Chains A and B, each alone.
Chain A
Amino acid sequence: MTLIEDRPSPASAAPEPQTTGAAKPVYRPDVETWLDTTDHKRLGLLFVYAAIAFAVASGVLGLIIGAKQASPSLNLAADRWVRLYALHTQMSVLLFLTALWMGLAVYVVPLQIGSGRLAVPRLLATGLWTYLAGGGCFVASYLIGQPNGAGITQPTPIPAPPGGANSATTLWVVSLALIGIGFLLAAASLLTTIVALRPDGMTLMRVPAFSWATLVASAVTLVATPVFLGGLLMLGLDQHFGGTLFSPRTPGNLPIWQHTVWLYGRPDVYLLTLVALGAATDIVTTHAHRPSLDHRAVVVLLGLFGALSLTSFVASDSVTHAVIVPTYTIFTAAVAVPLGLTALLWLGTMARGRPRFHVSLAYIVGAILLWASGAVNAIAAAASHVNFPNGGSVWSAGNTHTVVAGAPTLIAVGAIYHWAPKMWGRTLNTVVGGLVFLCLFVGFFAAGLCYYLLGYNGAPLGQIGGLSSYQKTLYDIAETGGALIVLGVLVLVIDLVVSVAAARGTRTGGDPYGGLTLEWATSSPPPAWGFEDVPEVRSEAPLAYVRAEVGRARGGSDMGDRGELPAVGGAG
């Protein structure tokens, strides 16, 4: 195994394969080279593929959960329903969405900052396989038995049964620890890459928005995840030995549970939005064909968002009675400020730019609408003093389907459509992309809205009986929304298979959009060594600067958005 593939010298380079008149190249996955790879592109794709697989599984689980709520006569015991609900929520956030963003970051960030490689790639590879092992153990823990308690989303501690919990509980805790360690190692590698592998000229203030968001998210992960691991260690020992650490009789354990286990979910879900903001900024600037209105403001807002996400740890015991779940404190509620200002910067950038439509922009519009609906409902919930029953309200499920998971998922899928030409050298189908968007947006919006309305109606979280006709209608609509989400993910998988695996997608050059950032300055997909040469970086939109310089050298004002960039280095 080599850490970094060497660039072949011109003398030793293999001759280009003759494709004229030959059969279409066949997609041949080389399993062995993927298993021991340290290439950031392959590692990123493995993260993405694993995340999509978990998304399909989680979606199917969501359908089963919703079906039971819509039809209480369905033959599914209440304890099994609780088990499936916990599996669905944790799989959606940890195994799908976090991993999907991690995969996109691992692929794109080294290219965006001009390094073309990862720092300490074995560390990231270890993180990937640890995450996959953790994901497998996580699913297995729910297959071999019933883990004790309702999961880490439970705001009150999980007491251990006398004599110790079953092996499913132990495996569940171990799997969560493995997933956390996997993300921790990957975050350390990404952070080191951004800090230490930028070429001269790529100052921190010139780092593109997605890479900057990854830097902030990785830093927050490095601080927040170890706290969670400490909490899991206490939980695992308590459950295994049948201790009384998290027993209701032990004084002082509630803040320990909340601050080491439960509240970890807050910075974690905020980070999903943080990287979504970074990715959306790059998508908008690329298709608006101009740099962001104020890149420094974007950098500051992303940093502020990350800092505010950490303030969830200062919440007191009263968070369980907070109305605006999950924004428990004034600081965590304040994340709406950088979010809103960043969205305004997108609108200004589009207005001042020369936008061309790309399907990824539709996903961003959809995400903004979901965030707006979440904000409206948060204000409505606070103003109307919604009564939140003990154990939670379905209102929280509405918030999850719109704000926490819905909007970041939309932007993540939009990011796949945006960076697909770079990752696979082929575009995904625009029409199918629009269909995926409609399925996901309508699905998330319908499900979220129905859960919000059920919350206002006083429905508790996990209600599977005693429904009024109004509630049953809402659960039916929410179930339909869930089915649309699953359909959207399946159509995305079909598009990937047809366009990439079956090579039906249109082949693209290195820079299909006339991009601004360095990932578009190399071929698609990039060579194993990343770049042939990295152009000089003199602004936060290095390729825009390059185009302007080339245009001036040729006697014009600008070379425009299209056209191949000249070679780097050499005569001239």
Chain B
Amino acid sequence: MTAPLALPPAGRTRPRNLVNISLLMIVTGGLVMFAALIGAYVQLSEVASHWPPAGVNLDEYVGNMLAITAVMSAITVEWSWYSVKRDDQAQATWGLSVTALLGASFLVLLWDSARRIGFGPGSAKIGAFAIMYYALMVASGALALLGLAALLLALARTVGRQMTPTHNEMLRAVAWYWDFVVICWLAVWATVWVFT
């Protein structure tokens, strides 16, 4: 009696970090969105007679503070990730806590700057500049809000000792996402405040 015929099985799928790959794809999409918004901003500024329009004063102090806060938070989130890789839970917790605080500060400052600039429903100042300014602020704020939620989740999991030197994919994804938020903001800051 012959043995039953059997087919050779396919090789196993090589292990890959699916969270990080899909995150990279979404981040690519986010960068394209900011490129579109910044492109629209630049296009309008090129053809406008006054940009920003007369009577609108952009507070450079606020813009610079936002940029500094963002850069500091990018550093602290990397600090936490490297701490997890070195199995230093205390440093990782500190790093994430400081990043979350900086992220919250960034959001508060962003909200305050948008409120202070004085555009509101029915305001005579609601022109193309105001809409573009709000669009860039809303996009940055929405990304930062999502990032803050992810940071708090990562912090909770770090405190719960779920991040180890070998299993830290979630924290790495959060760190990459936060870096993406910071890069987007720096692009906005350069467009609105630096190269006006």
Which residues of A line the B interface, CB within 8 A? 114-115, 119-120, 123, 163-164, 184-185, 188-189, 191-192, 195-202, 222-223, 225-227, 229-231, 233-234, 237-238, 240-245, 250-253, 255-256, 259-260, 533-537, 546, 549-550, 553-554, 565-572
Question: How far apart sit A223 and B27, CA to CA, in the bound complex (Å)?
Answer: 11
In the complex, B189 has a CB within 8 A of chain A: no
Segment with Cβ contacts to A, from B78-86, B132-140, B153-161: B132-140
Q: Are B14 and A184 in contact (CB under 8 A)?
A: no
Question: How far apart sit A256 and B38, CA to CA, in the bound complex (Å)?
Answer: 11
Q: Are B121 and A222 in contact (CB under 8 A)?
A: no
Q: Are B18 and A196 in contact (CB under 8 A)?
A: yes
Q: Are A226 and B7 in contact (CB under 8 A)?
A: no
Q: Are B30 and A192 in contact (CB under 8 A)?
A: no
30 residue pairs bridging A and B, Cβ less than 8 Å apart: A119-B21, A120-B19, A120-B22, A163-B121, A191-B22, A192-B21, A192-B22, A199-B11, A200-B11, A202-B10, A225-B29, A226-B32, A227-B36, A229-B33, A230-B34, A230-B139, A234-B37, A238-B131, A241-B131, A242-B121, A245-B131, A256-B40, A256-B43, A260-B40, A533-B9, A536-B9, A536-B10, A553-B5, A572-B3, A572-B4
Closest to A549 in B: B7
Question: How far apart sit A468 and B101, CA to CA, in the bound complex (Å)?
Answer: 70
State the Cβ distance, A52 to closest chain B Cβ, in Å: 28
Q: For residue A120, which residues in chain B have a CB less than 8 angstroms away from its CB?
A: 18-19, 22
| A200-B14, A252-B48, A566-B5 known; A192+B25 contact, CB < 8 A | yes
| A115-B13, A233-B138, A252-B43 known; A226+B4 contact, CB < 8 A | no
Question: How far apart sit A164 and B126, CA to CA, in the bound complex (Å)?
Answer: 11
8 Å CB contact of B10 from A200, A553, A570: A200
Q: Are A241 and B121 in contact (CB under 8 A)?
A: yes
Q: For residue B46, which residues in chain A have a CB less than 8 angstroms away from its CB?
A: 252
Q: Are B10 and A201 in contact (CB under 8 A)?
A: yes
Q: Are B139 and A565 in contact (CB under 8 A)?
A: no
Q: For residue B135, which residues in chain A have a CB less than 8 angstroms away from its CB?
A: 230, 233-234, 237
Given contact pairs A120-B18, A188-B29, A196-B18, enumerate 18 new A-B contacts (beta carbons under 8 Å).
A192-B18, A192-B25, A197-B18, A222-B29, A230-B40, A230-B135, A234-B40, A240-B121, A241-B119, A250-B128, A252-B44, A256-B44, A536-B8, A566-B5, A570-B4, A571-B3, A571-B6, A572-B6
Q: Which positions 120-157 of chain B face chain A at CB distance < 8 Å? A: 120-123, 126-128, 130-132, 134-135, 138-139
